[in-house]
Structure 1
Amino acid sequence: MELNIQLYNDEGTEWDDFVTSQLESTNYHQYGWRKVVEQSFGHKTFYLEARNAGNDICGVLPLVHMKSRLFGNFLVSLPFFNYGGVLFNESKFGDALLKHAETILDKIGADHVELRHIYNQQHDLATKQHKVTMILDLMNDVETQWKALDAKVRNQVRKAEKSGLTTVMGHLELLDGFYEVFCRNMRDLGTPVYGKEFFRNILETFPDTTRIISVTLEGKPVASGLLTWFKDVLEVPWASSISDYREMCPNNLLYWDAIKFAIGNGARKFDFGRSTPGEGTFRFKKQWGAKPVQLYWQYLLKDGEKLPELNPKNPKYDLAIKIWQRLPLAVANTFGPRIVKDIP
């Protein structure tokens, strides 16, 4: 048989070897994220592989099944993260993987498959282009990078330092402080928070390619972020700060020291993460010199099915967000993980 599609359930080495070999692969195509999702949220996963006549992997498609009364029944590649989707070295393998995904869709009775592509690989699929990721091309050394920054950004970093803020870089030993800041920030935004075990699982699964960076004032974390890297790209998928300290510019110090770490670690690109063009986070990232790269969220839909609108900008969630922002922090932290596990 020239082409074979099947579920991959091995230990991950062959999968990761293929992922690493592909130019369009992302951090989240790595097999370890399957363990993170399953252990953190309990979702069923379908990791599909395509093999050629020589039994070599020529394509992969990681899928997570999410089903709840509140948010619906669907497959995502990948939820909770910025990227995913189908990865292949020849289009015939990608087409076969998507066809098999449709078979799974029908079998489990789900409504759609969401593919979070950073490249528009499948031109015939329904597509959303509502988000971009902000990428900064890094210089070869810290001094050159500093000089390339906008003068306003440099002044904000200096202000943070003069305000007595300092940074610390670490790993699991900084998780509690990171999570405390993260919970406060997410409650204030009106968004249910992930459980701490989600971040612990990430750090334990990828001990050599993750770090926590925290900005502290007199030993207390006031801003914190989780760094992860793959190939020559370092990303900050989760970063938060306490609004009470905004005037001290802790976010600016956090990102500058993260950029310095990225350069020292050999990264060529710094990924600020996804944003909606024109909004506040987009402008913050743009001031660092980051450029928008279009994201393509593509869908396999059942006949007659509309594109999903499961996002905080949907007006039907306005009241829920306002209520959540008023919850005591302890209440938000207790119930948040039970809700957010079903939000992709």
Structure 2
Amino acid sequence: MIIELLTPQSYHEWDDYIANTNKASLYHLSCWKEVIERSFRHNTYYLMARNVNKKINGVLPLVRLKSRLFGDYMVSIPFFNYGGPCGDDAEIEKELINTAINTGKADGVGHIEFRDVQHRENNLQCKTEKVCLILDLPETPDELWGSFSSKLKSQIKRPLKEEGMTVEFGGIDKLNNFYGVFSKNMRDLGTPVYGKNFFENIFKSYPEHTKICTIKLKEVPVASGFLIGFKKRLEIPWASSLKEYNKLSPNMLLYWSVLKFAIENGYKQFDFGRSSIESGTYRFKEQWGAKPIQLYWYYWLSNGGKLPKLNPHNPKYQTAINIWKRLPLSVTKIIGPRIVKNLP
């Protein structure tokens, strides 16, 4: 077995391997390498293993993030929920991890994070605070509707009673609808926002299975979600609503609309994304019938120290978060992308 770096000549071969294994996630596809490089200018290390017949039998995508503010480290892969090694067997995956660690040592990074969905017997430290919530979809929207509680049905019907409330699906031509809602919501949460070019690059690299759903009130976008499909699963990695319209529950109509869309377009599962167990977002997703899938985030630490805490729950970031909430939206759209590019 040899392990080498992915080159443009092998993109098609890499993606064929991903398409024909049930271990891979959407984010193992080679297109995310270009999305990340173009959007954030990060160095990427896409490792692929080959057997004696020179056929790919394992992959591991890896991205290096380096900044004065947050340090120098690698993630497989940042900005999304899934990554880590994907190979024909555990031994191949172990060798891919070891190669990633050797690469990290050679480059002098502080740590490497592997975003995995399976438990592994290794010497790496592991975080298990997060889960992803997955809903198995029935054959028809009516079947799904019938599984909901009376309370949930009532919440979905509420925005439908509002005059001028509409649902709109589209592609890159609807990106402004999504980004307007998303950027304002991120500012209100105290979180730096991705630049719009990140989402443009996703559409350019993965256009056929990327959609936007927007809820409008009298032509004003009030809630919107970014949808990406892979095989038989539809995912909503980003969704937002404007807090001033929360009393009308546009978010409930958004999720019901995308679930109907998923069923009507042949998807068998819907991925609500990750949450901390028993958090508010966890309970929101659970009410739709979604079930938790454990996430295992493994860490190699160069100095054997404490696990990194690069997240908004870290107390040392609270002052910055509170200041960010008060900044003009236009300022956050300029500064935010420069900060968030180095947050995984």
Q: 1:265: how far off?
A: 1.3
Aligned-residue RMSD, C-alpha: 1.0
Q: 1:280: how far off?
A: 1.4
Give me the whole-angstrom Cα distance separating, in 1, the residues matched to 2:162 and 2:118.
Answer: 42
Q: 1:118: how far off?
A: 1.5
- Give the partner amino acid of 1:5: I
Q: 1:10: how far off?
A: 2.6
Q: 1:98: how far off?
A: 1.2
Partner of 1:137: 136
Partner of 2:7: 9
Asked whether the 8 Å contact 1:223–1:254 carries over to 2, the reply is: yes
Residue 37 of structure 1 aligns to a residue whose secondary structure is: helix
Deviations 1:72-104 (A, max 9, x none): 110100100011111101222112111111111
**Superposed counterparts of 1:296-315, under 5 Å:** 296-315=296-315
Give me the whole-angstrom Cα distance separating, in 2, the residues matched to 1:292 and 1:132.
Answer: 6
In the alignment, structure 1 residue 64 sits paired with structure 2 residue 63: yes
Partner of 1:293: 293
**Superposed counterparts of 1:119-138, under 5 Å:** 119-138=118-137
**Superposed counterparts of 1:234-313, under 5 Å:** 234-313=234-313
Residue 38 of structure 2 aligns to a residue whose secondary structure is: helix
Residue 225 of structure 2 aligns to a residue whose secondary structure is: strand
Asked whether the 8 Å contact 2:110–2:303 carries over to 1, the reply is: no
Give me the whole-angstrom Cα distance separating, in 1, the residues matched to 2:333 and 2:119.
Answer: 37
Deviations 1:48-88 (A, max 9, x none): 00000010101100000000010011010010001111110
Give me the whole-angstrom Cα distance separating, in 2, the residues matched to 1:205 and 1:118.
Answer: 25
Partner of 1:321: 321
- Structure 2-normalised TM-score? 0.97
Partner of 2:32: 33
- Unaligned 5+ segments in structure 2 are none
Partner of 2:92: 93
**Superposed counterparts of 1:141-152, under 5 Å:** 141-152=140-151
Partner of 2:223: 223
Partner of 1:207: 207
| Runs of 4+ in structure 1 over 6 Å off | none
Give me the whole-angstrom Cα distance separating, in 1, the residues matched to 2:104 and 2:225.
Answer: 35
Asked whether the 8 Å contact 1:60–1:88 carries over to 2, the reply is: yes
- Give the partner amino acid of 1:13: H
**Superposed counterparts of 1:68-217, under 5 Å:** 68-164=67-163, 165-217=165-217
- Unaligned 5+ segments in structure 1 are none
Q: 1:120: how far off?
A: 1.8
Residue 23 of structure 1 aligns to a residue whose secondary structure is: coil
Distance 1:122 1:67, change over 3 A: farther
Asked whether the 8 Å contact 2:58–2:86 carries over to 1, the reply is: yes
Identity rate, percent:
48
Deviations 1:237-286 (A, max 9, x none): 00000000001111111010100111011111110000111221111111
Asked whether the 8 Å contact 1:111–1:305 carries over to 2, the reply is: no
- Give the partner amino acid of 1:76: V
- Give the partner amino acid of 1:256: W
- Give the partner amino acid of 1:99: N
Residue 237 of structure 2 aligns to a residue whose secondary structure is: strand
Q: 1:156: how far off?
A: 1.1
Give me the whole-angstrom Cα distance separating, in 2, the residues matched to 1:123 and 1:146.
Answer: 43
Give me the whole-angstrom Cα distance separating, in 1, the residues matched to 2:331 and 2:275.
Answer: 28
- Structure 1-normalised TM-score? 0.97
Deviates more, 1:300-309 or 1:264-273: 300-309
Deviates more, 1:13-22 or 1:251-260: 13-22
Asked whether the 8 Å contact 1:139–1:268 carries over to 2, the reply is: yes
Q: 1:304: how far off?
A: 2.3
Q: 1:123: how far off?
A: 4.1
Residue 229 of structure 1 aligns to a residue whose secondary structure is: strand
Q: 1:122: how far off?
A: 4.5
- Give the partner amino acid of 2:319: L
Paired residues, number: 342
Give me the whole-angstrom Cα distance separating, in 2, the residues matched to 1:191 and 1:198.
Answer: 16
Q: 1:125: how far off?
A: 2.0
Asked whether the 8 Å contact 1:75–1:112 carries over to 2, the reply is: yes
Asked whether the 8 Å contact 1:65–1:73 carries over to 2, the reply is: yes
Deviates more, 1:7-16 or 1:65-74: 7-16
- Give the partner amino acid of 2:297: W
Deviates more, 1:203-212 or 1:3-12: 3-12
